[in-house]
A and B are shown apart, each in its own frame.
Chain A
């Protein structure tokens, strides 16, 4: 009996894009595939705005509304290893070792000549591109310069001035730190294992088509007996990131984080059993 299920897990990447990756994980248990999925979503650290100091805000949105919107902006986190968690840092609130500062100052001037001209759009869109980062490696994700992330719309005479503190964190604490926008996770597209129970009107086959992944598996013969010992072993996974880091990076980091967890537990287990060794005499 070995954990490797004859040869161990295999990975086959189907497509790799700047912010998404499709891959197939085979020859391992559902719990392992699911652990990978869960770590990618919730335990891979990224940078996100965590504190906002507002100096001036005469926009239509309240301070906390803007602070919340700023927190949601994805920040490039390729270099996140260099930054410490504040809880592990020697400082009390934040410092350059555990944070990155971003500033924003937008003031819309009143131009009396334009004021009465209805053809001129006087609305100023404040976007993530207006955030000035103190660190070149941590700045708002801006792949699409034509449609940057909107923070607030301003009218002539209004002003917004603030300072943001971006910190390292994980999505277990707040979803804003998740590097992924979505993960699709599928196994057994023909429902051979009967893990899915479809809600139907009249006909399951007609109402529930098979997914694109079904092309890789053989259809179920309706006359074949149900194999109650069968287990899933092929997982179709697609990771879409926020653009804060590369999708392959997210997957690799996720597995490393899992290893760190396990290693940490082994050390703690050793500590716990030092005294017990004497107690049990082994």
Chain B
């Protein structure tokens, strides 16, 4: 007997094997493309959109989830002639990873400092 719904996953149809792909017909020139990210949602989509918009070479960046029951996110990027959509995507991912690293370091520094209310309670209630 199983308490999980995980077995259900096996019945799902694999839409795409790759985790990142370019939606066919959206890359008319290298400066624009719609990328399809498999198994990603608002968690990454929204933060990535923000990171992309921070790049001054990016003219347009947005994300959408075409259907709530399909685990994929589309990210549209249009850039200036100085770069390409793929390079902008790569930079966006890179910048966001750097930012995460920054948050981790900030957290660890704060934990090391220990300047907060601390309680190691044995019996909470």
Contacts and interface: CB of A to CB of B under 8 A. Distances in A.
Given A1-B54, A11-B110, A262 B96 contact: yes
A269 B86 contact: yes
A52 to B, nearest CB: 5
Given A19-B124, A63-B1, A268-B19, A251 B96 contact: no
A252 interface: yes
B102 to A, nearest CB: 5
B26 interface: no
Contact of B6 (A38, A173, A273): A173
A106 B98 CA distance: 52
A68 interface: yes
B103 A11 contact: yes
Interface in A3-59: 3-4, 8-19, 23, 25, 28-29, 31-32, 34-36, 38-39, 42-43, 49-54
A225 interface: no
Interface string B100-125: 11111011111100001111111111
Interface of A: 1-4, 8-19, 23, 25, 28-29, 31-32, 34-36, 38-39, 42-43, 49-54, 63-64, 67-68, 70-71, 143-147, 167, 169, 173-174, 176, 248, 251-252, 255-256, 258-259, 261-266, 268-273, 276, 280, 282
Interface of B: 1-6, 18-22, 30, 35, 37, 40, 42-44, 46-47, 49-51, 54-56, 84, 86, 89-90, 93-104, 106-111, 116-125
